[in-house]
Chain A
Amino acid sequence: MTIRARVTGAFLAAVLSTTAFNGAFAEDTIKVGILHSLSGTMAISETTLKDAMLMLIEEQNKKGGLLGKKLEAVVVDPASDWPLFAEKARELVSVDKVAAVFGCWTSVSRKSVLPVFEELNSILFYPVQYEGEESQRNVFYTGAAPNQQAIPAVDYLMENEEVERWVLAGTDYVYPRTTNKILEAYLISKGVKPEDIMINYTPFGHSDWQTIVSDVKKFGSAGKKTAVVSTINGDANVPFYKELANQGVKAEDIPVVAFSVGEEELAGLDTGPLVGHLAAWNYFQSVDNPANAEFIETWQAFTKNDKRVTNDPMEAHYIGFNMWLKAVEKAGTTDTDAVLDAMIGISVPNLSGGYSTMMPNHHITKPVLIGEIQADGQFETVWETPGLVVGDEWSDYLPDSKDLISDWRAPMSCGNFNIATGKCGGKGS
C-alpha cells in the first residue's frame, strides 16, 4: 500500500515536472539550453561543463535571475554522436524555445550544429579552444583561437627554452590537423628548417605509444634542443604521459607542451614524473586571485567534492554566460537579433584577474598563460602574455585565410570579408 502510494506520488511528480518543462510556466522563466554529451567518449570532458553551467545558472537565480525572471536549464544528451548534436540543437531551439545554447566540445560537433543555429536564428556559446578558420553570425567562440594558445606557446619555447627541433604530435582529426598546419607555417616563417619538424598523427584513443615516444627520443638526439607540441586529445593522453614517464623523457630535456591537457585530464595520472611538462591555456586553477578562489569554492560546494578541479573550458563558459547576461540586460530582451547586436563590446571579468571583451569577430580577448605540471596535478604559471590577446579567427599564416577578416557589426556584417578583393565571402562561408 505504502509502496503503491509512493509510486503514484512519484508518477504525479514526474508528470508535473514534465508539464513544467513543456511550458506550463514558460512565461516565468528564461530557458537556457545545455548541449553537452553526458554519455559516450566525450562524456569524460563534457559532463563537467554541464555541471558548471548548472552551477552558474543556480548562482544567477540566487542573485535574482535575469530581467526579473528565473533562469531554467534545459539539459539534453547528444551522446557524443555528431549528427545527434544537430538533432538535439533543433529540439532545444524549436521545441524548448531556449534563449541561448551553451555547448559542444569537438569541432566536428560544432560544425554539425552550425546550420541549425543559422536556420533557426539562435545563439550558441562554444567554450573550447579550437582551430579557428571560422566565424559565424550565431556563434560566440569563448575558447581560444590558435593565436591565443598555440602560437604563444611555441614562442615561449623558442625564446625561453631555445628549442630548434619540433615534434608536432596530434590525434587524427580536424583540430590537430589545422593547428599543426598553422604551426608548421609559423615555424617555417621563423626560420625553422622543414627537416627539423616531425609531424605525427595517431587515431582517437591510441593506447600504445612505445614506438612514438621512442621516435621522439631519437628525433631529439640530433644535438639540437627538441620539444613536443601535443594536440593529442582525450583519452589518449593518459597512456601517452605514462609512456613518457616510463621511458624517462624528462621535461628538462624534451619538454612536451599540450593544448588539450588540463587539470581534469591530469586527475587520472600520477604527475610526479611529469613535473615540468607544459600546457598553454587562458586559465589555470592555480591562478591566484579572489574571483578565482570564489569560483573554485562555489564549484566544490556545488559538486560536494573538495577535490574537484576547475579548468579552462569551464572558465570560458563562465565568461560566455556572464557576457550573455549582460547583453540580455543591455538589450532588455532575449530576442536573438537584439542580443547579437548587444553582445559585441560587452566586457566582463574573467577568472585570471582581468577583463575579457567580445570582439566584432565573435571571439574574445584573453590572456595566454603557460604553465608547468606540478607534482600535485596542478599547473604553475611560468609565463604569461603581458596583455590580453584578441582571438584571430582567420589565421595569418595560412595562404587561404590570411586575407580574410570577420566583423559582425553593421554595415559589414560578414564572417569572411576578403580584404584583397573587397568582397564578403570566401573560404569557409
Chain B
Amino acid sequence: MYRFIQTVLMALFLTVAATPWVRAEEGLRDLVNALGEAKLSNMDEHIAALARTGDPKVVPILEALGEGNLYARKADGQVFLTDGTGSKLALTDPVSGDSAGEAPKTALSKVKVNNSVRRAVRTALGSLTLLSPDRDARLKAAKSVLQSPDADALDAVENALAAEKDAEVRALLEQARATSLLVSDRPVEEKRQAIRMMKQRGGRDALPVLSSALGSADEALKPDIEAALANIEQTQALWAAGQNVWYGLSLGSVLLLAAIGLAITFGVMGIINMAHGEMVMLGAYTTFLVQEVVRNSYPGLFDWSLAIALPLAFLVTGAVGFAIERGVIRFLYGRPLETLLATWGISLILQQSVRTIFGPTNREVGNPSWMSGAFELGGLTITWNRLWIILFALAVFAALLFLLKKTRMGLQMRAVTQNRRMASSMGIRTPWIDALTFALGSGIAGMAGVALSQIDNVSPNLGQGYIIDSFMVVVFGGVGNLWGTLVGAFSLGILNKFLEPYAGAVLGKILVLVLIILFIQKRPRGLFALKGRAVEA
C-alpha cells in the first residue's frame, strides 16, 4: 500500500514536472510550423518570436531557414529541416532532431527567404550564439551584432563581454557594444566613451554607424561624432592610397602573366603572334576540363585542381604552339605582315573550334578554398586570389629568367635570336630551337590561362581581352627584354588604378593608351631598349 502511494505520488510529481517541458516543445513546434505559412513581409516577427524562446534548438532551425533548407510538407503544413539537394529530400524533425524519412520535392514547399529574412536570421542568430562554446560561432555572432546595431542586444553583448576570454572575439564584442550603445538610451557620458573608442579603433565599419547616429544624436554629442568621423575618414583616405597601389600591383600581375609568354614569342623571336590570347584561353579550358574530371571522380582533390591543371596546361598549349610553329610560322619568317594575318586566322580557328566543342557559353571554373575570400591587413582588403596571382606571376617570371639566363637551352635560344647564322655555324639546330622557343612562349601563356580562369570568364572570347594589353606591355617595356615586361606591366597596372578613381574606367584606359603613344614617340624602343648589334639584326 505504502509502495502504491509512493508510486502514484512519484507519477504525479513527474507529470507536473514534465508538463512545462512538453508544453515548451509543443510551443516551439507551433512557432516553427508557423514559418511555413508566414508571408515574406511578416517573417521577421516569426523569427523574433523564435529567437525570444532562447532555446538552443532554434539555432539549427534558423540556420536552415537562412540557407533555404527549410521545407513545409504540403499535406499537413509540418515544417522540416532538409539537406536541400536532389529531387528527394531527407527530412529532419526540427524540434526533436530525429530523422523523419524522405519526401519527394513536389510534396514539399520551400519556406521562402529573401534578403530581409536573411538579415533577420543573422541578427537573431547573433544574439543567440553570443555565448556559444564554439569560438567561431561567437566570432560570427559578434560580427553580426556589429553589423546590425540594436539597443535590445546591448544587455546580451555586455553579458557575453563579461564572459569572453578570447582576445579577437573580445575586441569585436567591444566594438559591437559601442555601436549598439550609440543607438540605445544610455546616458550621454557612456555614449561619448563609446564614440571615443570607435574613433580609436577606426575602420570603415565604424563610418555607417557614426554617420547614421549623427542625425539622431544628442546635440552635446554631435561635435564628438563629427570629430571621430573626420578622424576616421582621414585615415581611410591614407589607406585608400595604399589600397590603390595594391590594386595596381594586382592588375600589373595579370598584365604580366598575359604578356610574359608574348615577351618570348614577340619580344625574343619577333613573331607578331595574334593567336597568343587563344593560348591563354586554351589554358583556361584545360583548367575547366581538369576540374570537371576532379569534380566527377575525385572530389577530395578539388583544392589541388589548379596544381594539376598547371603542368597540363603548359603541355597542351606548348604542344599547340609547337604545331603552329612547325605547321605555319616557320614558312613565314621575315614576313611580319603575313605572320600577323596567319596567326590572326589561327586565332579565329581556335576560337571557333573551342566554341563548337564546348559551346559558346561560359564554363564554370571554381575557386579552390585557398583562393576564395579576403583578409584585412590594417585598412587594406586583400583578396586571396589576387595575392596568389601576384605570387604566381613573379614565380613564373623568375623561372623564365632562370631558364633563359642559366640553362643550355636558354643560351641557345638567345644565340639563335641574336645571330641566327652564327648560331647555326656553331652547330645549333636553329629550326628546332625556334620551335621550342615558340612552344615555351605558348606554354607559359597556357599557364597564365590557369591563373586567369580564377578571375575572368572561361569563354571562347577570353583571349581577345588580353591580346591588346599584352602587346602594349611588351612594346612599352621594350621588345626583347624580360625585365622591361615586368616593369612595364606593373607600372601600367598602377598607373591605370590611380587614374581610374578620378577618370573612370573608360577614360582611364584611354588616357593610358594616349600616354603610351606619347612615350613611344619619345622612346620608340620602350623602357628598356636593347642596345648593340642585335637590335639591327
Which A residues lie at the B interface, using CB under 8 A?
A: 38-39, 41, 43-44, 47-48, 160-161, 172, 200-203, 205-208, 210-212, 214-215, 217-218, 220-224, 235, 238-239, 242-243, 245-248, 251-253, 255, 264-265, 267-270, 273, 275-276, 372, 374-375, 380, 382
Q: List, in ascending order, chain A residues with CB within 8 A of B132's CB.
A: none
Closest 8 CB pairs of A and B: A268-B362, A223-B212, A223-B211, A246-B383, A202-B505, A382-B114, A43-B360, A223-B208
Smallest distance from the beta carbon of A147 to chain B beta carbons, Å?
23
27 contacts between A and B (CB under 8 A): A44-B461, A47-B361, A200-B504, A200-B505, A202-B506, A206-B505, A207-B254, A207-B456, A223-B207, A223-B209, A223-B215, A224-B208, A224-B212, A235-B457, A238-B456, A243-B383, A243-B455, A245-B372, A251-B115, A267-B362, A267-B364, A268-B361, A268-B458, A270-B366, A374-B68, A380-B68, A382-B112
State the CA gap A245–B381 with chains docked (Å).
13
Question: Does B414 make an interface contact (CB < 8 A)?
Answer: no
* A265 CB, nearest partner CB in chain B, Å: 7
Task: Assess whether B506 is in contact with A252, with CB atoms less than 8 Å apart.
Answer: no
| A372 touching B362 in the complex, CB below 8 Å, given contacts A200-B504, A207-B456, A246-B385 | no
Picked from B112, B212, B456, B500, the residue with its CB within 8 Å of the CB of A239 is B456
Query: Which residue of A has the minimal Cβ distance to B458?
Result: A268
**Given contacts A238-B457, A270-B367, are A221 and B204 in contact (CB under 8 A)?**
yes
Contacts of B374 in A (CB 8 A): 246-248
Q: Shortest beta-carbon distance, A154 to chain B, in Å?
A: 15
Shortest CB distance A275–B (Å): 8
Determine if B317 is an interface residue (Cβ-Cβ < 8 Å): no
Contact B497 A211 (CB under 8 A): yes
- Beta-carbon contact of A44 and B361 below 8 Å: yes
- B207 to A43, Cβ gap below 8 A? no
Residues of B within 8 A of A235 (CB): 362, 457, 459, 461, 465
Q: Is the pair B204, A247 in contact by a Cβ cutoff of 8 Å?
A: no
Query: Which of B25-33, B116-124, B335-343, B398-406 is near enough to bind chain A?
Result: B116-124
Contact assessment for B147 and A253 in the assembled complex, using a CB-CB cutoff below 8 Å: yes
Contact code string B189-223 (vs A, CB < 8 Å = 1, else 0): 00000000000000011011111111100000000
Is A222's CB under 8 angstroms from B211's CB?
A: yes
Q: Which of B208, B352, B373 contacts A248, CB < 8 Å?
A: B373
- A255 near B465: Cβ-Cβ < 8 Å: no
Verify A39–B114 contact, CB threshold 8 A: no
- From B247, B457, B461, B506, A203 is in contact (CB under 8 Å) with B506
A203, A211, A276: most-surrounded residue (chain B CB, <10 A): A211
Question: Chain A nearest CB: distance from B48 CB in Å?
Answer: 17
Chain B hits for A38, CB < 8 A: 360
Proximity string of chain B (350-367) to chain A, C-beta cutoff 8 Å, 1 when within and 0 when not: 011001000111111011
Q: Is the CB of B115 within 8 A of A255?
A: yes
**CB-based contact A276/B114 at 8 Å:** yes
0/1 interface trace, chain B 102-141, chain A, CB 8 Å (1 if under): 0000000010101110110010000000000000000000
Complex Cα–Cα for A206 and B505 (A): 9
Give CA–CA (A5, B214) in the complex, Å: 87
Are the C-beta atoms of A267 and B461 separated by less than 8 Å?
Answer: no
Nearest CB on A from B139, distance (A): 15
Question: Is there contact, CB below 8 Å, between A215 and B501?
Answer: yes
Instruction: Flag if A264 contacts B361 (CB, 8 Å).
Output: yes
| Residues of chain B contacted by A48 (CB below 8 angstroms) | 360-361
Chain A residue numbers with a CB within 8 Å of B461 are 41, 44, 205, 235
CB neighbors of A among B361-400 (8 A): 361-364, 366-367, 372-374, 381, 383-386
**In the complex, chain B residues whose CB is within 8 Å of the CB of A217:** 204
Known: A212-B500, A235-B457, A247-B381. 20 other contacts (CB 8 A): A39-B352, A41-B461, A43-B355, A44-B361, A48-B361, A211-B497, A214-B381, A222-B211, A223-B209, A223-B210, A223-B211, A223-B215, A235-B362, A235-B465, A242-B367, A267-B362, A268-B364, A276-B114, A382-B40, A382-B112
Nearest residue (CB) in A for B376 is: A248
What CA separation (Å) do A417 and B363 show in the bound complex?
Answer: 47
The answer, yes or no, to whether B509 is at the interface (CB within 8 Å) is yes
B477 on the interface (CB 8 Å rule)?
no
**B418 adjacent to chain A (CB < 8 Å):** no
Residue of A nearest to B84 (CB): A375
Instruction: Write out the residue numbers on chain B whose beta carbons fall within 8 Å of the beta carbon of A264.
Output: 361
Check A246–B373 contact: CB distance below 8 A: yes
